[in-house]
Structure 1
């Protein structure tokens, strides 16, 4: 039973592995969470698909669990919003039925179509590393072009071809919209430059897809419609409950961290790192994505960077090379990472000359290089497993600093990082992030910033708060602040420089090796 007082807000989060439903109060305090898992299929190498019917059934299950756990009535839910993985593309017919499994965000079957972007001179290329970085097969126009070329019958039958957040909106309300977040950040839409770059879409092979994209492009938090009667009956909620326009999951997380004004940067950690922040002016530069017009907050511009492998590299090391630590953790009931942190605590800055690049699964920014791979150099016989673990931690921090350097060079100054996710469980590692980057790090009370962000949008859509910034002032609360140690920051700059210099020296050799191994498959 909830001890909070209403009204309450519901946030729906469609992640890669499950549908989560959260209920928060107006002060941003969590009431309850519920999750229901679904499966991903991989029909071919590089492909990833999910069944949207599984999504819908998971939402129903999670919603009923959450309402029962909260012990509140349907009429006490004042507003609903949602988020989902982005560039998870769903094809729908004129009856609102899915025509095929959703093509997931991680699906890279459209590599050939994405390569066509490199020969385009469209202004749309500004979004992608100032036009210098390769386009990624994950994004919408390339998947649309793939579908048109390889499954023309499905493509032609599809009256709507939408990103997953917009599929959710239709299921909840019966209305079709395109959320500005997906449009600006992943579909090359730019209000400042006339909207859709039709020349770019024609160049990559899907110039006719605009008939399948919902015409209304709505800002985040905009009221869409009331919850439909059918959806209300299935979810156990009240018909007519306001539903607000939602975004992709990472940017719901940005909102849930209160990063809704220039100068702040959200750091969303887990298996990977996502860096995203707001600028008051449109900026472009090499080594990052953006700036995207109105993508999170209307009238502002969003910049983005990311590290593909961060927490996943630590997990790889723990699972592959630390059976004694894992066994000790199982025996004592302690966390294996806490034991590793204790062993690495006395390792000095720079890990006694050991430097690692964490590009184990490629590099998102600043190189946008899917053929990048990890590099370990400076090894000597004095180095221990504790050195390796410490050097991996440092490598992740160096990668974050490298991304910030690219943004700073383009005129985007980060004055504060607000972090959430798995890495924040280690105070020492967060301190290392701050020392390496030289930027203060704020931790907020609600670590699950994604669902909080969706609930904040629900509050705006229900007119409980006038805008996203006001919702952030009332619903996001600081838990802790970490200041950089300036002496350690200065000492770290030598190693950050060496980290930044190392991959370009090895890039062509790495590509050759990756191509050689791929040819053997």
Structure 2
């Protein structure tokens, strides 16, 4: 039997991370194609769907070249993608406007309208998520209220991966995991909630058809085969939202396991057989890509995005040194931060550059530095940014522990897992070991590859991830640092509570 391959695409915030796996679960090639995010207003975030399509086509050809594989050897393709968006398209799969992506917080009024009609608790228990401008429902309502002309042209509202799948197959579909990020899915019944649709005054007809993540939802059409560089008739497996794919790719496929993704945003997730309903609604529930499972999660807005902002706005010297040394600016920034003791000499960063989702659920929250003195340097600020993200994520972790979850270690994936310092800070703040995998950057696309391989029978089950995600390093907590962070973590939470009313005043136009 000849070797067969799965191509998996992860349409993230900064670009498309695509991977090629063989039928033994071995990574043969990977590539990354970036694209732009546009911020036309405060708390707005948009992308061009056509950029995703170009990135998928380019990545496919690069993978075939790098892996020395022919198109006829591709058994299927599958997808992971950024969630909670609003990709409005015509019947011809043409974008009506730029996509409103997950980070966008403009639809505050619309989310409040939903709350006034049904209440936060009811929506939380139906969808597994509190109502928020982060989710697709409020964004669709905003389009209806603010862009009537565009809204009339909508045939379907999709997500990033669904847009590419529709272009490839002609079918307008999504999977349960991505649908669970819309504030519109009944996560127990796995059906669109008629009660919420009625309250939102939206028609079910504009929503895509629901599928399991492992379903073959179509085949590559002849009219796009040459453009993407694959054979017409190649099976397309729908895959899942990036949160749920990340859980699978990190090997969090059984109860008792946890993972932490650090990219532009960051989240902590676990796996359960039933949703976890936090009494304070700090966390939420994705449907897992594995049938019958859920992935309770808490996601913050600006993790890697905070570090990227810091690099671009303040770290010009580090950028220059990185060019001279031929390394990443982040590596130079890490070296600077390593010169500063744990706690950054009582400098605290609150990572709310884009409002906040979990755990605060406050679109008006602002990024803040507290405790800045004349003795602090840029190195202190760099370290404080990493620590502030870790403090914020600990609130999410504690929410799961409060609900009885048992977490002995956390698997770290995403670009933030690469640094020398951030994993140690996380271990010290969380007070549990951090497990770094061999292919941590590819974990999300690995999850997509699993859905594809399992979906067509190329992989026997999701258990193959036990071989595919292997630990290359364990980072243990430093007890002395943990004691420092315990005190600062309390101050971090107290500071947020003290500033909440100030954030409201700053948000008033």
The within-5 A match list for 1:313-462 is: 313-345=306-338, 347-446=340-439, 447-462=441-456
1:179 aligns with 2:147: no
Match of 1:464 among 458, 461, 465: 458
Q: Is the 8 A contact 1:89 1:104 kept in 2?
A: yes
- 1:261-311: per-residue Cα shift (whole Å, max 9, x none)? 22222212133322222123322112533234x333222222121222233
Q: 1:339 to 1:188 in 2, by over 3 A?
A: same
Aligned partners of 1:57 and 1:46: how far apart in 2? 26
1:503 aligns with 2:499: no
- 1:60-85: per-residue Cα shift (whole Å, max 9, x none)? 33323322332222221122101222
Matching residue of 1:90: 87
- 1:451-505: per-residue Cα shift (whole Å, max 9, x none)? 222222211112022333x231232222212222345434432222221222101
Q: 1:226 to 1:125 in 2, by over 3 A?
A: same
Gaps of 5+ in 1: none
Larger Rg: 1
- 1:362-398: per-residue Cα shift (whole Å, max 9, x none)? 2222111121123333344444443333333222221
Aligned partners of 1:249 and 1:79: how far apart in 2? 19
Q: 1:40 to 1:486 in 2, by over 3 A?
A: closer
SS in 1 for 2:426: helix
Aligned partners of 2:329 and 2:51: how far apart in 1? 34
Q: Is the 8 A contact 2:257 2:270 kept in 1?
A: yes
Aligned partners of 1:387 and 1:191: how far apart in 2? 44
The within-5 A match list for 1:47-86 is: 47-86=44-83
Aligned partners of 1:318 and 1:161: how far apart in 2? 35
Matching residue of 1:126: 124
Matching residue of 1:192: 188
Matching residue of 1:473: 466
Query: What's the TM-score once normalised by structure 1's chain length?
Result: 0.86
Q: Is the 8 A contact 2:43 2:355 kept in 1?
A: no
Q: 1:368 to 1:128 in 2, by over 3 A?
A: farther
Aligned partners of 1:127 and 1:191: how far apart in 2? 9
Q: Is the 8 A contact 2:9 2:17 kept in 1?
A: yes
Match of 1:116 among 106, 113, 116: 113
Shift of 1:512: 1.3
Q: 1:201 to 1:326 in 2, by over 3 A?
A: same
Aligned partners of 1:170 and 1:333: how far apart in 2? 41
1:7 aligns with 2:1: no
Q: Is the 8 A contact 2:272 2:296 kept in 1?
A: yes
Q: Is the 8 A contact 1:127 1:290 kept in 2?
A: no
Q: 1:37 to 1:494 in 2, by over 3 A?
A: closer
Query: What's the TM-score once normalised by structure 2's chain length?
Result: 0.88
SS in 2 for 1:245: strand
Q: Is the 8 A contact 2:175 2:212 kept in 1?
A: yes
Aligned partners of 2:375 and 2:360: how far apart in 1? 32
Shift of 1:101: 4.1
Shift of 1:212: 2.2
- 1:175-196: per-residue Cα shift (whole Å, max 9, x none)? 3322101212324312425732
Q: Is the 8 A contact 1:222 1:460 kept in 2?
A: no
Gaps of 5+ in 2: none
Q: Is the 8 A contact 2:21 2:27 kept in 1?
A: yes
Which of 36-45 and 364-373 deviates more? 36-45
Which of 393-402 and 182-191 deviates more? 182-191
Q: Is the 8 A contact 2:261 2:414 kept in 1?
A: yes
Matching residue of 1:139: 135
Q: 1:233 to 1:348 in 2, by over 3 A?
A: closer
Matching residue of 2:476: 483
